[in-house]
Amino acid sequence: MVRAAMQAEPVGRDMNYAATATVETTGSAGTSKLAFARHFVEMVLVMFIGMGVFEGLAALAFAAADSSLSAQSGELRVMLMGVSMTVPMIAWMGYRGHGAARNAEMAMSMIAPTILAAALAATGALGTEAAFGIQHVVMIPAMLAVMLWRYDEYAHAHTDH
């Protein structure tokens, strides 16, 4: 980020004013790459934590209904997986100061592969485990593609809470 400010300062005894410019630069290419990498790692970690927490909650909910998560259809399990990773990631992005438009873009990078994988599982084109594999193999690069597309958004430090 470059910030420029103009200010007038007195010069000499007669108090004539001369304009001086101050340029403040924050961040360098290395810093922006580090911020980008940090952001990516944070999002992936939050996704995996969310996956574990939400999948655990889903398992408890199905058990309370005298069923199990593994007894559910492949497409439902794939959709639950996608939601369990997307919701905490978007919540984390909001916490870190991203706006609704960036959150929506990132959510779509997660939900689009989820819908594709769920459809493949629903039609029987893939088994559930293969659909999970497709979901994850496509999801991470899709998320990274959105981040690269909006590099300036993701390559600077965000709100530290």
Report if residue 121 sits inside a domain.
Answer: yes
Look up residue 12 and give its two tokens.
């000499």
**Higher-confidence position of 2 and 112:** 112
Mean pLDDT estimate for the chain: 82
Which residue is it, tokens 């403040």? 24
Report if residue 144 sits inside a domain.
Answer: yes
Q: How far apart are the first and last CA of the chain?
A: 21
- Give tens-digit pLDDT for 114-160: 999 999 999 999 999 999 999 999 999 999 999 899 888 888 766 55
Please say whether the beta carbons of 70 and 80 come within 8 A. Answer: no
CA torsion sign, 93 to 97 to 98 to 99? positive
The total number of structural domains that make up the chain: 1
Report if residue 109 sits inside a domain.
Answer: yes
Report if residue 123 sits inside a domain.
Answer: yes
- Give tens-digit pLDDT for 2-27: 444 434 444 445 444 444 443 333 45
Residue 28 is predicted with a pLDDT of 59
Domain interval for residue 80: 28-154
Q: Which of 132, 129, 127 is nearest to 113 (CA)?
A: 132
Residue 131 is predicted with a pLDDT of 95
- Give tens-digit pLDDT for 23-53: 333 455 667 889 899 989 999 999 999 989 9
